[in-house]
Amino acid sequence: MTGRHLTLDDIADARAYERQRSEFRDHIIELKKKRRVAVGPVVSVVFENRETIRFQIQEMARAERLLSDQAIQTELDTYNPLIPEPGELSATLYVELTSREEMEHWLPRLVGIEQAVRLEIHPAGNGAGPTVISCLVDPDHAAHLTREEVTAAVHFVRFELSAEQVVQFRTGQVALGIDHPAYRESTVLGQDTKDSLLADLEG
């Protein structure tokens, strides 16, 4: 376990969490404004970090009344792998659909979308083409979420960047794209988003 991973000591018990929940939730809402990227009309990507994952675990423990150390540890074991290490970005991809008609239209068409996410880094100043970094998908998560006929509405992806690519990320223009036969979209990251993600990449 690395220093970034959460432990039982990081998860407040139910009474303590109720006292801090409102302030912590406001903090996470502001944080996610920087770390949520809309890519086209129905997909958004939220880049996770230690704080967003801690909030996820606290909220799950609250909703499901998880009181024992064993129950909390199960959640820690599930979600700790989503906390990025230096040189990594970790993200949750949401297919955001609000009606049965949208689900019937999009979910069969977007099978495999979790394999089609990529970062495109345009290095500053040298006129070179973009550096394209394809996402990686955890096989255990993929096994639970992927079907041949229809995609899930939530996927987990990550990116691994070399030291040189981290420098390019800092100084160049960065876009988050999806290159799927049924969904080709791209969004340039704003400076606030880049700055927040650099905290993950640079450790």
pTM: 0.90
Using DSSP, state whether 89 is helix, strand or coil: strand
Fill in the DSSP letter of residue 11: S
Kindly report, residue by residue over 118-148, the tens digit of the pLDDT: 999 998 776 678 899 999 997 766 665 556 7
Give which of 19, 38, 20, 39 is closest to 28, Cα–Cα. 20
Backbone dihedral region of 83: left (phi > 0), alpha (psi from -120 to 50 degrees) or beta? beta
pLDDT reported for residue 142:
60
Among positive and negative, which fits the CA dihedral 176, 164, 198, 74?
positive
Report the C-alpha gap between 37 and 188 in whole angstroms.
9
**For the CA atoms of the chain, what is the radius of gyration?**
18
Report the relative pairing of strands 173-180 and 88-95 from DSSP bridges: unpaired
- Token digits of residue 80: 């700790």
- The least confident of 25-39, 76-90, 143-157 is 143-157
Segment 160-165 mean pLDDT: 96
Share of the chain above pLDDT 90, in %: 83
CA distances from 60 to 50, 95, 157, 173 (A): 15, 21, 21, 36
- Token digits of residue 31: 């944080």
Kindly report, residue by residue over 3-38, the tens digit of the pLDDT: 689 999 999 999 999 999 999 999 999 999 999 999
Share of the chain above pLDDT 70, in %: 93
- Sorting pLDDT into bands at 50, 70 and 90, what band is 45? very high
Segment 108-112 mean pLDDT: 93
pLDDT reported for residue 72:
93
pLDDT reported for residue 143:
60
pLDDT reported for residue 140:
66
pLDDT reported for residue 7:
95
Backbone angles phi, psi at 15, to 5 degrees: -70, -45
Q: Where are the domains of the chain?
A: 8-201
Instruction: Looking at mean pLDDT, say which of 2-11, 62-71, 149-158, 190-199 comes out highest.
Output: 190-199
